[in-house]
């Protein structure tokens, strides 16, 4: 049987700022067979999205398909007219983009957008299309399938929008579906469900799909075959199992190594315990909206959060989006004054609002944001961006300032000549280094790192993490490291705090998070991270699936926020009584009504049920006391 897609010698060029043509995809050839899911994997700049879009004969503005041949369904795509391409797109080839929130038109109801392609191509009557969309909503596990279509994009969660995009792609029964990083923007817990419905929908229909991703563990769940790309050229093509177990190219091996978590932080021994905390946060309550009579905000984001960080150590804060991680950083920095509670710097209480803090207090706490791009003024050269805090905090001018800028660039491992360049000329990783240097310019005691590596590729992000660790060793800075990614937090943090709906669920040393008993929510987060082996997605237990599918529900009062999703809940107690934060013997504080022994027993029971219920699992995990060793591998 002829392949559905055949790409031969594809070449795509892009015009850079000086008007020169750079080759971004060079001589790429591959085939996609009918009923196959093929993955394009690589870092940003590897050309994976560009290749996927050329399958639809589409080149983003500034890029041009310069040569090669793309055959789809016996038609030569690159020689079709715009009109012919339009009649193909959305009918025979459908596209599922990365950012669901941005890909829906904010002004139109969802159903209209989902069935739009069927109406453009007139493949079915509107009523028929609507009925089909509703049945797809039901199949994709969307809530309220009949009424969902009347809602607008902003009224629906990210995971639901991503599934709606899949419905949009499937409504015309296309021969080929292109998924472009469809779960990258989602939380791990949401990702599980989306991946499962995607895979089921494709496999049941026997559809052909191209799956673009940078995440090897996700691709391992989805693809039959993997194409590894780098700098616009193919490094390796092979069946998924061989890529994972017997990679041939060096680059594939590098990718596999980067996907394996590794500890970067130097383990500091008990010597630090005596040292006074650089920052101490006590019983913070913060949120948005009007305050009631007791000063409680209408939308509480943080509820009674306390923490302390010693000099030269890192506290990781982890949780799903909406858990209040960034709000915590904003409260400490004084950008959002807390409604209640106190932030102490070296034992002295700080004014709640940044405006009321002294210049020296401001200097000691610095933030580095996720979006390296938007945090740098594009109209200022790097030298001036770094010179500004030097002047503001230290009064440095002229040659001394220039010398210090050079030193800062040296610290973040960038050449001193970088000072004359503009942010637009830098790569994402370089920009994040500049942001770090800008924070270091103040000579802070604490840096709040808000998802600093989330927007970066694995390899680039890993280098930034290494840099952070080195700087900490040299300068003794403390970090508050916010992330949604467990393995990142695991790699560099001494202590980890798990936040859910603004409540601390578990707070302990990094080692303690690898041992049971765990808070049910910690357990969920850990089992939601995709593992680098085939069959992980299918082997997820029902309990995890059920817990993962619930969204964050904010509750008032001191009862447990995780109640709605928890599989170990005690109705009548967990949702009514204030949940105690208990010290467990493994060295962690856990907020749960269940005692230490109860949690250990219940976890063992649950694992036993899973094994008996799923004899088909090929590699049964080692449970019971040995589970600790298993967990360390995440």
Partner 1 sequence: MAMLTLGFVSMAVFAGTEILPGDVAEAVLGQNATPEAVAGLRHALHLDYPAHIRYFLWLIGIFSGDAGRSLANNLPVTELIASRLPNSLMLASVTAVVSVPIALTLGISSAIWRGSFFDRAASFLTMSVVAMPEFLIATLAVIIFAVNLRWFPALSYAAGMVSINQFFNQFALPVFTLSCVLIALMMRMTRAAVIDTLRSPYIEMAVLKGARPIRLVLTHALPNAIGPIANAVALSLSYLLGGTVVVEIVFGYPGLARLLVDAVSNRDMPVVQACVMIVCSAYLFLVILADIAGVLSNPRLRYR
Pairwise CA distance, residues 153 & 109, whole Å = 7
Chain Cα centroid distance, residue 556? 28
Contact with partner 1 (CB under 8 A) among 155, 241, 283, 374: 155
22 vs 155 by CB, closer to partner 1: 155
Note whether 182 binds partner 1 by CB under 8 A.
no
Region from 148-156, 306-314, 321-329, 411-419 binding partner 1, contact rule CB under 8 A: 148-156
User: Considering beta carbons, is residue 40 or 437 the nearer one to partner 1?
Assistant: 40
Minimum distance from CB of 176 to partner 1 (Å)? 12
Q: Tell me whether residue 56 or residue 332 sits nearer to partner 1 (CB atom).
A: 56
User: Among 25-33, 94-102, 461-469, 470-478, which window interacts with partner 1 (CB under 8 A)?
Assistant: 94-102
CB 276 within 8 A of CB 346: yes
Q: CB under 8 A: which stretch of 83-91, 321-329, 330-338, 440-448 binds partner 1? A: 83-91
230-233 LR contacts (CB < 8 Å, sep 24+)? 230/42, 230/43, 230/46, 231/26, 231/45, 231/46, 231/47, 232/12, 232/23, 232/24, 232/25, 232/26, 232/28, 232/46, 232/47, 232/50, 233/25, 233/26, 233/27, 233/28, 233/47
- 630: contact with partner 1 by CB under 8 A: no
- Sheet containing 503-509: order of strands: 365-368, 446-450, 478-483, 314-318, 495-500, 503-509, 588-591, 581-584
Please give the C-alpha separations between residue 246 and each of 252, 540, 618, in angstroms, as whole numbers: 10, 25, 20
Task: Provide, rounded to whole angstroms, the least separation between the CB of residue 7 and partner 1.
Answer: 18
Residue whose CB is less far from partner 1, 155 or 245: 155
Give CA angle at 185 (470, 170), nearest 5°.
150
As measured in angstroms, the least distance from the Cβ of 97 to partner 1 is 6
Nearer residue to partner 1 within complex by CB, 53 or 544: 53
Rounded Cα distance, 408 and 471, in Å:
11
- List the interface residues with partner 1, window 340-379 (CB under 8 A): none
Q: Considering beta carbons, is residue 94 or 228 the nearer one to partner 1? A: 94
Smaller CB distance to partner 1: residue 101 or 602? Answer: 101
Closest approach, Cβ 57 to partner 1, in A, equals 10
CB nearer partner 1, residue 171 or residue 202: 171
d(CA 168, CA 136): 9
Q: In what order do the strands lie in the sheet with 297-309?
A: 297-309, 279-291, 340-345, 348-349
Please state the φ and ψ torsions of residue 173, each to the nearest 5 degrees. 50, 60
Q: What is the DSSP string of 313-342?
A: -EEEEE--TTSSHHHHHHHHHTSS--SEEE
- The answer to whether 633 touches 619, Cβ cutoff 8 Å, is no
Closest separation in Å from C-beta 607 to partner 1:
43
User: Which residues, including other chains, have CB under 8 Å from residue 470's CB and lie 6 or more apart?
Assistant: none
Q: How far is the CB of 89 from partner 1 (least distance, A)?
A: 4
Q: Which of 40, 77, 88, 386 binds partner 1 (CB under 8 A)?
A: 88
Find the shortest distance in angstroms from Cβ 300 to partner 1: 19
204 contact partners, CB below 8 Å, separation of at least 6: none
Min dist. Cβ of residue 336 to partner 1 (A): 21
Enumerate residues 6+ apart whose C-beta is below 8 A from 316. Answer: 481, 482, 483, 489, 490, 492, 493, 495, 496, 497, 510
Question: To the nearest whole angstrom, how small is the minimum distance from the Cβ of residue 127 to partner 1?
Answer: 20
Q: Which of 4, 38, 54, 104 binds partner 1 (CB under 8 A)?
A: 104
Q: Return the number of the residue (161 or 227) whose C-beta is nearest partner 1.
A: 161
166 scored as a contact of partner 1 (CB under 8 A)? no
The residue written with tokens 């101490």 in the block is 280
Q: Which helix (H) or strand (E) holds 176?
A: strand 176-180
For partner 1, the binding residue among 22, 75, 102, 535 (CB under 8 A) is 102
Among residues 166 and 192, whose Cβ is nearest to partner 1? Answer: 166
Segment 105 to 134, residues that bind partner 1, using CB under 8 A: 105-109, 116-117, 120-121
Residues 19 to 78: which contact partner 1 by CB under 8 A? 53, 56, 58, 60
Cα–Cα distance between 362 and 358 in angstroms, integer?
A: 6
Q: Is residue 89 close enough to count as binding partner 1 by CB under 8 A?
A: yes
Q: Which of 33, 44, 71, 87 binds partner 1 (CB under 8 A)?
A: 87
CA dihedral of residues 429, 431, 435, 440 (deg, nearest 10): 70
If the CB atoms of residues 88 and 568 are measured against partner 1, the closer one turns out to be 88
- 47 or 517: whose CB is closer to partner 1? 47
> Does residue 138 bind partner 1 (CB under 8 A)?
no
Q: Which residue do the tokens 């915590």 mark?
A: 328
> Is 621 among the residues that bind partner 1 (CB under 8 A)?
no
Q: Which stretch binds partner 1 (CB under 8 A): 102-110, 208-216, 358-366, 426-434?
A: 102-110
Using the minimum distance from each CB to partner 1, give the nearer residue, 108 or 291: 108
Contact 559, 571 (CB under 8 A): no
Distance of CA 543 to the CA centre of its chain: 23
Instruction: Write the DSSP assignment of 562-590 as a string of letters.
Output: GGGT-SS--TTTTTTSPPPEEEETTTEEE
- Using rule CB under 8 A, residue 97 touches partner 1: yes
Does the footprint of partner 1 cover residue 90 (CB under 8 A)? yes
Span from 27-35, 150-158, 317-325, 383-391 in contact with partner 1 (CB under 8 A): 150-158
Q: Which stretch binds partner 1 (CB under 8 A): 12-20, 92-100, 255-263, 458-466?
A: 92-100
| DSSP-assigned states of every residue in 340-371 | EEEEEETTEEPPSSGGGS-HHHHHHEEEE-S-
x/- letters, 487..516, toward partner 1 (CB under 8 A): ------------------------------
Tokens of 304: 């009674």
User: In the complex, which residues of this chain contact partner 1 (CB under 8 A)?
Assistant: 53, 56, 58, 60, 83, 86-91, 94-95, 97, 99, 102-109, 116-117, 120-121, 152, 154-155, 168
């Amino acid at each position: 049987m002829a392949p559905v897609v055949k790409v031969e010698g594809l070449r795509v060029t892009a015009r850079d700022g000086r008007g020169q043509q750079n080759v971004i995809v060079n001589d790429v050839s591959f085939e996609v067979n009918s009923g196959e899911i093929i993955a394009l994997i690589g870092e940003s700049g590897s050309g994976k999205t560009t290749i996927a879009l050329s399958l639809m004969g589409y080149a983003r503005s500034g890029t041009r398909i310069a040569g090669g041949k793309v055959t789809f369904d016996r038609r030569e795509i690159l020689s079709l007219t715009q009109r012919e391409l339009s009649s193909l797109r959305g009918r025979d080839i459908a596209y599922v983009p990365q950012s669901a929130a941005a890909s829906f038109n904010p002004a139109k109801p969802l159903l209209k957008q989902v069935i739009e392609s069927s109406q453009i191509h007139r493949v079915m009557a509107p009523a028929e299309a609507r009925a089909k969309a509703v049945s797809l909503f039901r199949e994709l596990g969307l809530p309220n399938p009949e009424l969902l279509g009347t809602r607008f994009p902003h009224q629906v969660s990210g995971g639901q929008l991503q599934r709606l995009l899949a419905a949009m792609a499937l409504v015309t029964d296309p021969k080929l579906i292109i998924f472009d990083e469809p779960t990258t923007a989602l939380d791990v817990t949401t990702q599980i469900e989306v991946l499962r419905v995607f895979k089921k929908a494709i496999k049941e229909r026997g559809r052909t799909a191209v799956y673009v991703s940078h995440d090897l563990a996700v691709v391992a769940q989805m693809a039959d075959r993997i194409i590894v790309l780098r700098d616009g050229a193919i490094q390796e093509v092979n069946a998924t199992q061989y890529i994972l177990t017997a990679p041939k190219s060096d680059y594939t091996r590098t990718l596999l190594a980067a996907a394996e978590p590794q500890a970067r932080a130097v383990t500091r021994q008990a010597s630090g315990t005596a040292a006074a905390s650089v920052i101490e946060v006590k019983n913070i309550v913060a949120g948005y909206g009007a305050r009631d009579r007791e000063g409680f905000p209408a939308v509480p984001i943080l509820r009674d959060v306390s923490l302390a960080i010693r000099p030269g150590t890192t506290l990781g804060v982890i949780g799903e989006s909406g858990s209040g991680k960034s709000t915590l950083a904003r409260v400490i920095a004084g950008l959002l004054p807390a409604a209640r509670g106190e932030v102490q710097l070296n034992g002295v209480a700080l004014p709640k609002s940044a405006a009321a803090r002294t210049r020296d207090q401001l200097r000691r706490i610095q933030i580095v944001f996720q979006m390296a791009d938007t945090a740098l003024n594009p109209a200022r050269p790097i030298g001036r961006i770094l010179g500004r805090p030097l002047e503001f905090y230290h009064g440095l001018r002229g040659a001394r300032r220039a010398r210090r800028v050079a030193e800062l660039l040296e610290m973040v491992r960038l050449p001193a000549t970088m000072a004359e360049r503009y942010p637009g000329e830098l790569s994402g990783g370089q920009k994040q280094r500049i942001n770090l240097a800008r924070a270091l310019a103040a000579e802070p005691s604490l840096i709040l790192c808000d998802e600093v590596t989330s927007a970066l590729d694995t390899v680039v992000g890993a280098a930034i993490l290494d840099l952070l660790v080195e700087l900490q060793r040299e300068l003794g800075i403390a970090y508050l490291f916010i992330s949604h990614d467990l393995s990142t937090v695991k790699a560099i943090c001494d202590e980890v705090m798990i936040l859910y709906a603004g409540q601390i669920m578990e707070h302990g040393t990094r080692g303690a998070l690898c041992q049971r008993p765990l808070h049910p929510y910690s357990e969920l987060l850990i089992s939601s991270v995709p593992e680098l082996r085939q069959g992980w997605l299918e082997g997820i237990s029902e309990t995890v699936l059920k817990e993962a599918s619930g969204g964050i529900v904010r509750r008032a009062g001191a009862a447990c926020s995780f109640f709605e999703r928890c599989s170990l809940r005690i109705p009548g107690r967990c949702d009514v009584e204030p949940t105690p934060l208990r010290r467990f013997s493994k060295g962690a504080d856990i907020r749960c009504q269940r005692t230490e022994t109860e949690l250990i027993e219940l976890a063992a029971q649950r694992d036993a049920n899973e094994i008996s219920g799923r004899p088909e699992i090929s590699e049964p995990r080692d449970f019971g006391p040995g589970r600790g060793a298993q967990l360390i591998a995440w």
